[in-house]
Amino acid sequence: MHVSSRFTTRSALVNVMTAAVEKAARGLIRDFGELEHLQVSRKGLGDFVSTADHRSEAILIAELRKARPKFGFIAEESGIILGEDPTQRWIIDPLDGTTNFLHSIPQFAITVALQMEDEIIAGVTYDPIKDEMFWAEKGKGAFLNQRRIRVSARRNFDESLIGIGAPYGHHGDADIFQDRLKAVVPYSAGVRRMGAASLDLAYVACGRFDIFFEEPMKLWDYAAGILMIQEAGGAVTTITGNKNIIGCNSIAAGNADLHAALLKKIN
């Protein structure tokens, strides 16, 4: 993992975000230990929502609203909540990796980003089980806890470890996905599907994954992660190479060389 020895002090904005996700995480950790008591409903095939999601989201909204009362929200469960300030909104996924969570797999996260106008200016992704806080602020770098992180320095595609998201149920095109896998698997060091896209993107930012791609995705899955990767020195676009990502439904990411090679192979 590419982590520098340089420490940094979080800004007031990032402190607001990290405090909110840490408070929400306490409930998730408790529920994770008592899964047999958790009430679960189904939104659709493979797309679960639990009381844990709603509780986590309510805490996030309350804490962020307390600190920045005029900002709006776009949240996975609550949708769009307009604020007095139309130029700034929080983008929230209160539990990314719900299916992992409900199967007692400790790979899930809370992720929050702040959008100002048309760009992401701050992002936080917290893995409460491993106590790893990934965060970034526009122009100030990307960090894991208090240490600066960078994307992988590998340049050879055959040495690259690739993170992926895969279609499930009626989400995404399985045939296109299989074609993309065939284009990269024989030429890489391996492929991993971890089941929490926000953490996959954070793993690209710190060099654990060399490359990541997924389609379809939602804004709350990737908003914090795209800033982390950019601030960690990486490249991130849609799968077709569009740099204007906000509002799009796919991601391709890595260091500049491997990202370019990935786009060439999967397109």
Q: Tell me the per-residue pLDDT of 30-58, one tens digit each, with 9 for 90 and over.
A: 988 887 666 677 666 455 667 889 999 99
Comparing 3-149 with 157-266, is the CATH topology the same?
no
Mean residue pLDDT across the chain = 92
Identity of the residue numbered 250 = S
Residues 219, 226: Cα–Cα separation, whole Å: 10
pLDDT the model gives residue 229: 98
pLDDT the model gives residue 48: 61
C-beta neighbour count of 33 within 10 angstroms: 9
Whether the per-residue pLDDT at 265 is higher than 50: the answer is: yes
Question: Cβ distance 163 to 212 under 8 Å?
Answer: yes
Residues 6, 80: Cα–Cα separation, whole Å: 38
List the chain domain ranges. 3-149, 157-266
Task: Indicate the helix (H) or strand (E) that contains 223.
Answer: helix 219-231
Whether the per-residue pLDDT at 65 is higher than 50: the answer is: yes
Percent above pLDDT 90 for the chain: 81
Residues 127, 97: Cα–Cα separation, whole Å: 11
- Per DSSP, the three-state class of 117 is coil
Whether the per-residue pLDDT at 5 is higher than 70: the answer is: no
pLDDT the model gives residue 9: 82
149-171 pLDDT tens trace: 999 999 999 999 999 998 877 78
- Give the CATH superfamily of 3-149: Fructose-1,6-Bisphosphatase, subunit A, domain 1 (3.30.540.10)
C-beta neighbour count of 63 within 10 angstroms: 19
Whether the per-residue pLDDT at 131 is higher than 50: the answer is: yes
pLDDT the model gives residue 2: 59
Percent above pLDDT 70 for the chain: 93
pLDDT the model gives residue 44: 60
* pTM, 2 dp: 0.93
Domain 157-266 has CATH 3.40.50.300: no
pLDDT the model gives residue 214: 96
Whether the per-residue pLDDT at 253 is higher than 90: the answer is: yes
Average pLDDT score over residue span 83-111? 95
Which residues 6+ apart lie within 8 Å of 140 measured at CB?
8, 11, 231
Question: Can you say whether residue 6 is alpha, beta or left, with left for phi > 0 and alpha for psi between -120 and 50 degrees?
Answer: beta
**Mutual orientation of helices 12-32 and 51-67 as an angle, nearest 10°?**
160
Identity of the residue numbered 233 = G
190-248 pLDDT tens trace: 999 999 999 999 999 999 999 999 999 999 999 999 999 999 999 999 999 999 999 99
pLDDT the model gives residue 217: 93
Average pLDDT score over residue span 91-95? 97
Question: Cβ distance 222 to 136 under 8 Å?
Answer: no
